[in-house]
Chain A
Amino acid sequence: MSRRLSVTLLTAPALIVLLGVFVIPMLLMLLLSFQDAQQAFSLENYALFFQDTFYLEILWRTIRVSLWTVLATLLLGYPVAMFMAQATGKMRGIVTMCILAPHLISVVIRNFGWVVVLGEKGWINETLIALGMIETPLRLLYNELGVVIGLTDSFIAYMVLALATSLYSIDPSLNKAASILGASRARTFFSVTLPLSLPGIVAGTTLVFSLSMSAFVTPALMGGTSVKVIPVLAYEQIMSTLNWPLGAALAFLLLGSTIVLVSLYTKLIENKRYKEVFAS
């Protein structure tokens, strides 16, 4: 058997599954999004989206919540990633375990955990009231803040691992070189470590942004009915309103916006110097 043929045969099962459960349904959904109530070809679902500010607002909220999540995971994840990069092999393993362990639990259960913590009678509010620091409970749930907290918890592991991978590859003697040339630790971080971790930042932010844009469970559970995002809206259109064409159109608009934003972002960052320095 030729090498080419055996490769084809070995990848065939995966290709068939991917084609059958992913590519074909996607194409069917795309066709569906261009149908009106009479199943005739129409652009009305897309037109509705751009004419009604209700939908545009929800898209903007989806993007806003995703950007806050990216920022929160980046700021909270960077120190952890730096710690991992500087730790010994054994410590690195322990930290990686700690970061991945929560993912062994279903996201639904973890989100309900947050409800217990952040709710009006949750321990954060109870503690703050008991200490006399606040009088009425803070609203930490069923608003955008709640969604960002939930998404940050869900996706911070991706950010940390992406950052750590690029921090590992930085030669530690560069810190020494900067230091002996007169750079303080803060200066060394901003002029050497941070720019050299750019590939990790790009990978981590892109990943967390895409995941947050398409997240459904967390916004549904921690955003409540008042904080709708596009995935939740699409779900409602399909499952409750049974308006499949509109739901499909929403899904493709979400996909399109994510692709456009991510491409613009990477285009912006990966300039001539970036390619010169980080190209393999």
Chain B
Amino acid sequence: MSFLAKVYDVELRNIMKKFQNNVVVQDFNLQVEQGEFVSFLGPSGCGKTTTLNMIAGFLEPDGGDLLIKGQRMNGVPPYKRELGMVFQTYSLFPHMTVAENIAYGLKLRKVNKAEMKERVDRVLSLVKLPNVADRYPKQLSGGQRQRIAIARALVIEPSLLLLDEPLSNLDAKLREELRDELKRLHHEIGVTTIFVTHDQEEALSLSDRIVVLNHGFVEQIGTPLEIYNEPASEFVHTFIGKTNRLEGEVVEVNGDRLTVRTNEGLLIHAAKQTRKFAPNQKVIAFVRPEKIQLSATESNEAENNVKGELQIASFLGSYTECEVKVGGNTLSVKVQKLIDKATEQEAAKGIVCYWKAEDVLIMPTERG
């Protein structure tokens, strides 16, 4: 290694893992900068937890190199890696009090009593639970337990914090609360963090960068904005957020503008495409539900204006989710305003959906 080579907090070089003859992670390359918050996002079985377990040392890669702070870690047992980890099931030691749980890692590092107490107190106030030191884990709520688990991981001042779906055992409201808490903690401490989740909202809201994984392959690595707006593949686009997926073929190309006719005959205008297409090429057009507007009359600003009939309107608090039948296609539309009964009946007879050409994403049909 050259002395000029940049040292990353975590570096994966061509990491590969197989179980029996099943390759579960392949060609995983990643560099994590100091202080970065990186999420591994993907459906179950995509290899995200396997990769995290390799970084932690619970699994050994079958190929490639794993470096933490520039040191090759292949073959180093977990207890020598100086990492912090938070598990889905909290994994607090039930026979120890909260204070003993947190002090466990400090005891192993032979920290003296006075300093131990000070550090335990400090980290307890950091997670905003200063008064539970003498309780046992089972006397705490799920959210409190996970905060203690985070405190236990942070108190040893790890070089790297690993979070293995830490929020997925909590109910919706607590999950959001703890998500904000994680964000605040990362802001305050700045510890390099790798976060495994299958929840795209968690990944989008917390991460500096997201690694989208599917079937053991890295689909895309990018900032939340890049992942959302410039998906590298159909999988990334459909996995992150809801979308309308319309298959069809290109009828006209004009620079970065093109027109697509869906298989059901709907004409869609698209603009600002980064990919190149040719006429008659089989493609898929994507439009996010929140980019589509509903109106009684056609819009002059939007290139796409289609007439349809409102079929279902579900009021979901801050927004309303609608399904609009447009010819042979059904569009999912998300609108901010409330739709009252009268409007709904009116819209069932006829309504205009409109959206801008630049809000359409065109991708080639895979294997075609």
Question: Could you tell me if A196 and B84 are in contact, using CB atoms closer than 8 angstroms?
Answer: no
Q: How far is the CA of A38 from the CA of B182 in the complex (A)?
A: 85
**B206 close to chain A: CB less than 8 A:** no
List CB contacts (< 8 Å) of A165-209 with chain B.
171, 173-174, 176-184, 187, 191-192, 195-196
List CB contacts (< 8 Å) of A234-280 with chain B.
273, 276-277
CB distance from B193 to the nearest CB of A (A): 14
Question: Could you tell me if A182 and B108 are in contact, using CB atoms closer than 8 angstroms?
Answer: yes
Stretch at the interface among B75-83, B172-180, B332-340, B351-359: B75-83
**B319 close to chain A: CB less than 8 A:** no
Size band of the interface chain B makes with A = 20 to 34
CB distance from B298 to the nearest CB of A (A): 58
List CB contacts (< 8 Å) of B321-367 with chain A.
none
Q: How far is the CA of A180 from the CA of B81 in the complex (A)?
A: 7
Question: Could you tell me if A177 and B91 are in contact, using CB atoms closer than 8 angstroms?
Answer: yes
Contacts of B279 in A (CB 8 A): none
Q: How far is the CA of A250 from the CA of B7 in the complex (A)?
A: 78
Q: How far is the CA of A173 from the CA of B79 in the complex (A)?
A: 14
Q: How far is the CA of A181 from the CA of B89 in the complex (A)?
A: 16
Q: How far is the CA of A128 from the CA of B83 in the complex (A)?
A: 52
Question: Could you tell me if B156 and A176 are in contact, using CB atoms closer than 8 angstroms?
Answer: no
Given the interface contacts A182-B108, A182-B109, does A177 sit within 8 Å of B93 by beta carbon?
Answer: yes
Question: Could you tell me if B95 and A196 are in contact, using CB atoms closer than 8 angstroms?
Answer: yes
List CB contacts (< 8 Å) of B43-65 with chain A.
56-58
Q: Looking across the interface, which residue of chain A has its beta carbon closest to that of B102?
A: A181
Question: Could you tell me if A181 and B108 are in contact, using CB atoms closer than 8 angstroms?
Answer: yes
CB distance from A75 to the nearest CB of B (A): 22
CB distance from A196 to the nearest CB of B (A): 6
Question: Could you tell me if A195 and B83 are in contact, using CB atoms closer than 8 angstroms?
Answer: no
CB distance from A178 to the nearest CB of B (A): 7
List CB contacts (< 8 Å) of B94-133 with chain A.
94-95, 104-105, 108-109
Question: Could you tell me if A180 and B93 are in contact, using CB atoms closer than 8 angstroms?
Answer: no
Given the interface contacts A187-B108, A277-B136, does A179 sit within 8 Å of B77 by beta carbon?
Answer: yes
Given the interface contacts A173-B87, A196-B95, does A181 sit within 8 Å of B105 by beta carbon?
Answer: yes
Using a CB–CB cutoff of 8 Å, the interface residues on chain B facing chain A are 56-58, 77-85, 87-89, 91-95, 104-105, 108-109, 136, 152, 156, 162
Given A179-B57, A180-B78, 10 extra CB contacts under 8 A: A173-B91, A177-B87, A179-B58, A179-B77, A180-B85, A181-B152, A182-B79, A182-B80, A184-B79, A195-B95
23 contacts between A and B (CB under 8 A): A171-B91, A173-B87, A176-B58, A176-B87, A177-B87, A179-B57, A179-B78, A180-B79, A180-B81, A180-B83, A180-B85, A180-B162, A181-B104, A181-B108, A181-B156, A182-B80, A182-B82, A183-B79, A183-B108, A184-B79, A196-B93, A196-B95, A276-B136
